[in-house]
Amino acid sequence: MSLKFGTKDVTPPVVLAPMAGITNVAFRRLCREQGGGVYVCEMITTRALVERIPKTLKMIAFADDEDFRSLQLYGVDPAVTAAAVRMIADEGLADHIDLNFGCPVPKVTRRGGGSALPWRRKLFGRIVREAVAAAAPAGIPLTIKMRKGIDDDHLTYVEAGLIAQDAGVTAVALHARTAEQRYSGQADWEAIATLKQALDVPVLGNGDIWEASDALRMTALTGCDGVVVGRGCLGRPWLFADLEAAFTDPSYEPRLPTLGEVAAIMSRHAHLLVEALEDEKHGCADFRKHVAWYLKGFPVGGELRRSLAMIRSLTELDDLLAKLDPALPFPREALGQPRGRVNAPGKVSLPYGWLDSRDDDTVPEGAEMENSGG
Ligand SMILES: Cc1cc2nc3c(=O)[nH]c(=O)nc-3n(C[C@H](O)[C@H](O)[C@H](O)COP(=O)(O)O)c2cc1C
């Protein structure tokens, strides 16, 4: 299996899914140290980038050793999106750009952004075409990431995939859920197979890869050219080592870390966050959300768990981690289990009349969020 993003050989054919609030420079390093692939940064809004909002410029800082800097953009305006891509190209800010058409958050879809946008196919086509044109002179590969559609009665993924392909994208990633599903239920891998049948450009499958074996199953079932892995690596950055090994040798059996090994990775994660945020308090606060994911299924008492989820300093973290039993084996029952967001489905809020006119290509007003990564 081989996947190329421009001149980059994506080996193994694995992409760390962009996750707002998670895939910052620290988490990417932790994952990159485990295996090959493409590691996408947190979502950046095109307007915040072109307006050079300081917080956004900080968010697109890549590590010196990130040799394939992958950046996800969220935009709803073809002109602003093109300006953001031109800025990235002219200033050499990234080596790969992904466009986000999958965000299901009500404050985004209510204004016609994210997963609501492909329904307006002309506007969608304009955004993708202008972005590809702006990226091309610098040889930057451009991909898109989308959902199946708004809901089961308003599916867009095959048509959007064809539009994106015509526009010249390098690959198309499908999170095989509708916006209405949010993160509930099971991803519909058959939709990934359908998209693969319909397109000539590489298709990346996304949704519910919890173990390396799931990635192999998804590629076998759907014929997809690569996989995008999100929640499965929360609290388990070593999943990328498993993925690399499994794509090399499908009979590979994952090596499960002991609690001592997990504690060492937790400590490293927190140290990297503090280094990246240049502030111990903020780094520790950011780390707290990862604690429950790392400890999922381990028999660790409630009090220690709670204390770990409230750490304020690295010394406090390391002291608490030292209280864990390092020999405890990894809980097999936690394997293959969902982690992270699993929220219930919800009706998709859309702008008035959004569903009635697919070919209206007016730029939706106010759909650009000011904050990146939100
Ligand atoms: C905390 C969190 C933040 C996310 N942020 C983004 C984002 O900024 N851009 C995006 O395209 N998808 C985002 N996603 C969706 C993931 O990239 C991915 O499509 C989704 O989680 C399904 O893949 P999974 O089943 O492997 O988790 C986010 C998901 C989570 C859980």
Per-residue 3-state assignment (H helix, E strand, C coil) for 214-250: HHHHHHHHHCCCEEEECHHHCCCCCHHHHHHHHHHCC
pLDDT over 60 (residue 372): no
**pTM (two decimals):** 0.97
3-state class of 278 per DSSP?
Answer: coil
Instruction: Find where tokens 């490293």 sit.
Output: 268
Q: What is the pLDDT of residue 367?
A: 75
Q: Where are the beta strands (DSSP E) in 26-116?
A: 38-39, 44-45, 70-74, 96-101
Give phi and psi for 190, each to the nearest 5. Answer: -60, -35
Question: Which ligand 1 atom is at minimum distance from the Cα of 373?
Answer: 8
Angle, helices 25-32 vs 259-277, to 10°: value is 140
pLDDT over 60 (residue 374): no
Choice among 103, 224, 233, 284 that is catalytic: 103
Nearest CA to ligand 1 atom 1: 19
Q: Is 41 in the pocket of ligand 1 (CB under 6 A)?
A: no
The torsion angle over the Cα atoms of residues 160, 164, 170 and 176, rounded to 10 degrees, is -10
Centre of ligand 1 to C-alpha 13, Å, is 18
Q: Is 99 in the pocket of ligand 1 (CB under 6 A)?
A: no
Instruction: Select from 59, 96, 175 the residue to mutate for testing ligand 1; criterion: most ligand atoms less than 8 Å from CB.
Output: 175
Return d(Cα 221, Cα 218) in angstroms, integer.
5
3-state class of 70 per DSSP?
Answer: strand
Give phi and psi for 360, each to the nearest 5. Answer: -75, 120
> pLDDT averaged over the chain?
96
Centre of ligand 1 to C-alpha 19, Å, is 5
Question: Which ligand 1 atom is at minimum distance from the Cα of 17?
Answer: 17
Q: What is the pLDDT of residues 152-175, one digit of tens each?
A: 999 999 999 999 999 999 999 999
Return d(Cα 85, Cα 146) in angstroms, integer.
19
Q: What is the pLDDT of residues 257-277, one digit of tens each?
A: 999 999 999 999 999 999 999
| Pairing of β 171-178 and β 203-206 | parallel
Centre of ligand 1 to C-alpha 233, Å, is 11
Q: Is 135 in the pocket of ligand 1 (CB under 6 A)?
A: no
Q: Is 100 in the pocket of ligand 1 (CB under 6 A)?
A: yes
Q: What is the pLDDT of residue 373?
A: 47
- Name the band, by pLDDT with cuts 50, 70 and 90, for residue 368: confident
Q: Is 17 in the pocket of ligand 1 (CB under 6 A)?
A: yes
Centre of ligand 1 to C-alpha 97, Å, is 16
pLDDT over 60 (residue 241): yes
Q: What is the pLDDT of residue 370?
A: 56
Centre of ligand 1 to C-alpha 42, Å, is 10
Note if 103 is an active site residue: yes
Q: Is 19 in the pocket of ligand 1 (CB under 6 A)?
A: yes
Centre of ligand 1 to C-alpha 242, Å, is 20
